[in-house]
């Protein structure tokens, strides 16, 4: 598995990013429809935490099977991996954080999800006409994107992964120092009322899975699209065909 993955520019359509989804694929689908997402040419980039908390976590495999969806691995995907592959895990915390749907699956079913989650990179870099845009779930442990790339490619340092998937430091401290080597770094993990920019780091988890809204960001312009969802159409949140 590549812990760092580079994606070439989209020369045909738009590239959009979205914050944490947490099993709310029906709401996400409504947002994509509201902004006229075209799966034939557009692409969607997820900052991770696609599962847990919401009602449709099981749909994640259908969504991840779509060629237009790219995602990094969030701490919730990592929790599922840890559960199956071994490692320290507080099961009560995991269940309280919405992992019950996974914990209650038979092991063979759990394996299907874990094998897919293990393929997700920790960091994505997307080329755009205006420079590279990075995606991580939580934060960059380094002030230089190239340093992170090297670490992820050469080493499996648990401390580096921990910051990438769990850290809330930058928001907590209001740290506006940019991450060098990127036009913008897009992250989720810590809910904010509105998409929040600190330096060149954008926090996109605006609680679309809770009482907030999904923020869709255009990677080329770094503009947020207004995505007020209409009435949900499908009883089961199948990805747009």
Return residues touching Mn ion (CB under 5 A). Answer: 49, 74-75, 189
DSSP H helix total and E strand total for the chain: 9, 11
Q: Give all strands (DSSP E) within 169-213, no chain letters.
A: 184-187, 196-198, 201-203
Q: Which is nearer to Mn ion, 170 or 189 (CB)?
A: 189
- Verify whether residue 137 is a known catalytic residue: no
Q: Decide if 50 contacts 63 (C-beta within 8 A).
A: yes
In the complex, residue closest to Mn ion by CB: 189
- Which residue in the block uniquely carries the two structure tokens 């420079």? 131
Q: Which is nearer to Mn ion, 10 or 75 (CB)?
A: 75
Q: Give CA–CA dist 93/106, Å, rounded.
A: 20
Q: Which is nearer to Mn ion, 83 or 189 (CB)?
A: 189
Q: Which tokens belong to 145? A: 């994107």
DSSP strand pairing (4-7 vs 123-126): parallel
Q: Which is nearer to Mn ion, 53 or 213 (CB)?
A: 53
Q: Output the DSSP codes for 202-219.
A: EE---BTTTTSBPPEEET
Q: Decide if 148 contacts 140 (C-beta within 8 A).
A: yes
Smallest gap, in angstroms, from Cβ of residue 83 to Mn ion?
16
Smallest gap, in angstroms, from Cβ of residue 115 to Mn ion?
21
Nearest to 195 by CA among 186, 99, 33, 85: 186
Q: Give CA–CA dist 187/20, Å, rounded.
A: 9
Q: Which is nearer to Mn ion, 19 or 237 (CB)?
A: 19
Smallest gap, in angstroms, from Cβ of residue 230 to Mn ion?
28
Backbone φ, ψ for residue 226 (5° rounding): -75, 125
Smallest gap, in angstroms, from Cβ of residue 212 to Mn ion?
14
Q: Of the listed 56, 70, 76, 203, which one is catalytic?
A: 76
Smallest gap, in angstroms, from Cβ of residue 33 to Mn ion?
26
Backbone φ, ψ for residue 197 (5° rounding): -100, 125
Active-site annotation, residues: 76
């Amino acid at each position: 598995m590549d812990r760092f993955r580079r994606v070439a520019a989209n020369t045909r359509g738009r590239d959009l990013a979205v914050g944490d989804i947490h099993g709310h694929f029906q709401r996400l689908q409504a947002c994509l429809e509201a902004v006229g997402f075209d799966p034939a040419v557009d692409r969607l980039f997820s900052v991770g935490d696609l599962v847990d908390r919401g009602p449709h976590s099981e749909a994640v495999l259908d969504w991840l099977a779509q060629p237009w969806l790219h995602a990094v691995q969030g701490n919730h995907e990592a929790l599922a991996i840890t559960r199956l592959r071994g490692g320290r895990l507080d099961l009560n915390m995991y269940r309280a954080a919405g992992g019950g749907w996974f914990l209650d699956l038979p092991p063979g079913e759990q394996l299907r999800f874990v094998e897919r989650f293990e393929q997700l990179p920790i960091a994505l870099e997307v080329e755009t006409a205006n420079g590279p845009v990075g995606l991580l779930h939580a934060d960059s442990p380094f002030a230089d994107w190239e340093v992170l790339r090297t670490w992820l490619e050469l080493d499996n340092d648990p401390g580096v992964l921990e910051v990438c998937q769990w850290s809330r430091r930058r928001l907590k401290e209001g740290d506006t120092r940019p991450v060098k080597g990127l036009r913008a770094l897009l992250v989720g993990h810590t809910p904010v009322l509105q998409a929040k920019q600190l330096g060149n780091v954008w926090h996109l988890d605006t609680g679309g899975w809770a009482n907030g809204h999904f923020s869709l960001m255009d990677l080329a312009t770094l503009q947020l699209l207004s995505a007020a969802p209409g009435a949900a159409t499908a009883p089961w949140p199948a990805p747009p065909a």
